[in-house]
Structure 1
């Protein structure tokens, strides 16, 4: 194609001033930096979203029904009823309490969750983060503590702790709390707030402490097939229950985190595309100057019969090439960084000695998930902006009049 050949020749024989060359290189470097940052940033955001779904949302309840007044009786039949509803994968009973774990004079506030061990693995993947015990083998007198709780209290495996829970049936509101003893047989090591707040026990001992019958609980928990449609499923399935319950979905407890991730994604797209746009529009300045410098060559081409369309395509391709070189280099570097950002982050934290994610998010490492759709969008958007930036200088090149340029007029 003649336009490609001419564009290549113009680059090989250019006599650009240092300033024009600087502008063209600056626009290429700008696109390179913008594409690199955008690919890495989007990969990290995708990683957080993936970890939110596969890690946090696999542990926190998708949907829960909590009895505000009278407890839920005959939970096996209620579980079967809920599991027959559309969108529900599994259901299980539980009792949620706020208690205090006591060990050698130390106290730690804890979210105490009494569960049915044989069914809990159907609605939660917390068992993947528990060592060394298998959650299904959790005994009546055993407790599994979050690693953060155990660390704060100085508790180890095999130690005996006391859990203090409110005496809800006492006539005196200031009555002493009930004390229940457990042996520590497992630790939850997931990272984030779960390790610092959660403790798991089996149902019977808590039911006994609360004076509840064996088939009576205060809550039911669901796992749903579409976590991002959990609220609608919760409302639909909840209508089947004959009990008065509060309906909650993960959107209430963790929804702000998901919304923050989506907001950051939008901001990253906007800001980095503006960076790419500024770098691409630098092409206009460099190309206009280049057209002015090459006007004698353009005039000669026109006198030789070169059509305006060919000249237009020549400079459009030249401007596009500046951006594509930067975009392709940014693609390579951004992809390499995105694939290794987790390891680089761990290396940096080991050298620096601090972790900015520790105690802030639900994970303590920097996740990354490279999505090829994002890469395609970045490259297409960069090419589109670059083409727009090249149109005006290329059009200006077609307006050069050979007689005026070559005749000295």
Structure 2
């Protein structure tokens, strides 16, 4: 079978039986370094993808894909707008809501909170708050009952439990002859929910939409509409379309915009982790440079003979590049296989290690997510593999160029 001369000699050098043991050791460490770096990158990025998906899922249990409100925080013609939204095939659920800031007081404790009034008959179309109720029932939020469901951390901070009485103070004040008096209403704890995200568990309280509208003095109105789409990732684009197409003054936001800082922080953290772990591959690439320089030094006589036989500098350069490329390819391949296997089985391997050594990496008493989630992204795998292989290939250029600078007379004189 025909083989180019440079390829044949390069592969022969790679698998030669008689070779320098030290060079062989450096080659092995280069392969293992590349494999370790690639595997670590795939596993860590997969775990970070898993955490991002888990947090996004919990967030969307409380946040609508798209929220439409009026410029003053209320919607008067919301039923007409709702009928218009129903004609869009991308919208699979619509729920009105009333929202406002308030204070909750119990005994000597006071806590600021966000009150959200919901329509029990339609709230399930926009989010999954029903599944997050840990104590009590959301069905207790009947009109006129003035029952309230608190986040777990909010209830803990106030020191209240099911059926306890709270004082709710809204900023809508009443003017009387003796001065301005804030609106105060006694409410009853009808349940406690836990999402697993502190910003909701510590600062959100849920009421019936009619009770909330009465407290905030917007009877017959709502604060806005919450939309659920068939594709949550299309929300930013649809929000822009609605802003341009809807006739009227509306404030339209999507879930990604509302939590832009959160997702920007996750993206930054993922980028930093990629750079840090990729340094492992860079160290292995430097080992490839050292290996090839030593090989060039060891094979100077062979290089001189090839030059006297008329082999071109380009062919000699390719001989030693092939050696480095083989090392990079094997390391990248082993790392990819190991990384993919580990990433797909993190949720099985980690509990086994925890039970074996009787430790727990993520204590449920400290972390809301006590298990390591993992989501393998093949685009990440492709980026990692291609970047690693390209870096290893670039590392071969200088040693291979050094091989072309060997002078035949000097090399053969001391051979």
Tell me the TM-score normalized by structure 1.
0.80
Tell me if 1:261 matches 2:285.
no
Q: Which whole-Å CA distance do the structure 1 matches of 2:400 and 2:365 have between them?
A: 49
CA deviations 1:308-337 (Å, max 9, x no partner) are 777655433322233334334433443455
8 A Cα contact 1:130 1:186, kept in partner: yes
SS in 2 for 1:165: strand
Aligned pair count reads 401
Q: Which whole-Å CA distance do the structure 2 matches of 1:165 and 1:350 have between them?
A: 46
1:118 aligned partner: 121
Question: CA distance change for structure 1 residues 353 and 125 in 2, over 3 Å: closer, same or farther?
Answer: closer
Tell me if 1:187 matches 2:193.
yes
8 A Cα contact 1:3 1:311, kept in partner: no
CA deviations 1:148-176 (Å, max 9, x no partner) are 2223334334x233251315251267413
2:184 to 173, 178, 181: 178
Question: CA distance change for structure 1 residues 308 and 252 in 2, over 3 Å: closer, same or farther?
Answer: closer
SS in 1 for 2:294: helix
SS in 1 for 2:157: helix
1:80 aligned partner: 83
SS in 2 for 1:233: helix
8 A Cα contact 1:3 1:310, kept in partner: no
Question: CA distance change for structure 1 residues 67 and 160 in 2, over 3 Å: closer, same or farther?
Answer: farther
8 A Cα contact 1:72 1:243, kept in partner: no
Cα offset for 1:75?
A: 3.3
1:30 to 29, 33, 37: 33
The Cα RMSD (Å) is: 3.9
8 A Cα contact 2:114 2:205, kept in partner: yes
- 1:42-81 superposed matches below 5 A: 42-67=45-70, 69=72, 71-81=74-84
Q: Which whole-Å CA distance do the structure 1 matches of 2:68 and 2:270 have between them?
A: 32
Cα offset for 1:97?
A: 1.8
Ranges in structure 2 where 5+ consecutive residues have no aligned partner: none
CA deviations 1:249-285 (Å, max 9, x no partner) are 3344310111222233333444444542343133122
8 A Cα contact 1:117 1:137, kept in partner: no
Q: Which whole-Å CA distance do the structure 2 matches of 1:349 and 1:336 have between them?
A: 24
1:288 aligned partner: 293
2:239 aligned partner: 234
Cα offset for 1:94?
A: 0.7
8 A Cα contact 1:101 1:161, kept in partner: no
1:209 to 199, 212, 215: 215
8 A Cα contact 1:48 1:261, kept in partner: no
CA deviations 1:90-121 (Å, max 9, x no partner) are 32211112223344554332221101122111
2:204 to 198, 213, 219: 198
8 A Cα contact 2:170 2:216, kept in partner: no
CA deviations 1:44-80 (Å, max 9, x no partner) are 3322432344331342233323345484335333322
Question: CA distance change for structure 1 residues 341 and 349 in 2, over 3 Å: closer, same or farther?
Answer: farther
1:146 aligned partner: 151
Q: Which whole-Å CA distance do the structure 2 matches of 1:352 and 1:236 have between them?
A: 45
SS in 2 for 1:156: coil
Tell me if 1:162 matches 2:166.
yes
SS in 2 for 1:370: coil
Question: CA distance change for structure 1 residues 88 and 306 in 2, over 3 Å: closer, same or farther?
Answer: same
1:98 aligned partner: 101
Q: Which whole-Å CA distance do the structure 2 matches of 1:180 and 1:85 have between them?
A: 41
SS in 1 for 2:174: coil
Cα offset for 1:14?
A: 0.7
CA deviations 1:349-399 (Å, max 9, x no partner) are 96578689848xxx5655321112322322222222222222343454466
Q: Which whole-Å CA distance do the structure 1 matches of 2:381 and 2:251 have between them?
A: 44
